[in-house]
Amino acid sequence: MSEAKKRVVLGVSGASGAAIALRVAEILAGLQDIELHLVVSEAATCTFLHEIGPDALDSLIHLGYQHHSIENIGASIASGSFRTAGMIVAPCSMRTLAGIATGLADNLLIRAADVHLKERRPLILLARETPLHLGHLRNMVAVTEMGGTIMPPVPAFYHRPESVADIVEHIARRAIDMLHLSELPLANEWQG
Ligand X SMILES: Cc1cc2nc3c(=O)[nH]c(=O)nc-3n(C[C@H](O)[C@H](O)[C@H](O)COP(=O)(O)O)c2cc1C
Binding segment toward ligand X, per CB under 6 A, in 11-19, 22-30, 161-169, 172-180? 11-19
Least distance in angstroms from the C-beta of 187 to ligand X: 23
Nearer to ligand X by Cβ, of 64 and 91: the residue is: 91
Which parts of 55-84 interact with ligand X (CB under 6 A)?
Answer: none
Size of the site for ligand X (CB under 6 A): 16
| SS3 per-residue string spanning the chain | CCCCCEEEEEEECCCCCHHHHHHHHHHHHHCCCEEEEEEECHHHHHHHHHHCCCCHHHHHHHHCCEEECCCCCCCHHHCCCCCCCEEEEEEECHHHHHHHHHCCCCCHHHHHHHHHHHCCCCEEEEECCCCCCHHHHHHHHHHHHCCCEECCCCCCCCCCCCCHHHHHHHHHHHHHHCCCCCCCCCCCCCCC
Which parts of 89-108 interact with ligand X (CB under 6 A)?
Answer: 93-96
Least distance in angstroms from the C-beta of 126 to ligand X: 10
Nearer to ligand X by Cβ, of 41 and 84: the residue is: 41
Nearer to ligand X by Cβ, of 63 and 94: the residue is: 94
Which parts of 14-53 interact with ligand X (CB under 6 A)?
Answer: 14-16, 41, 43-44, 46-47, 50
Q: Which residues bind ligand X (CB under 6 A)?
A: 13-16, 41, 43-44, 46-47, 50, 93-96, 128-129
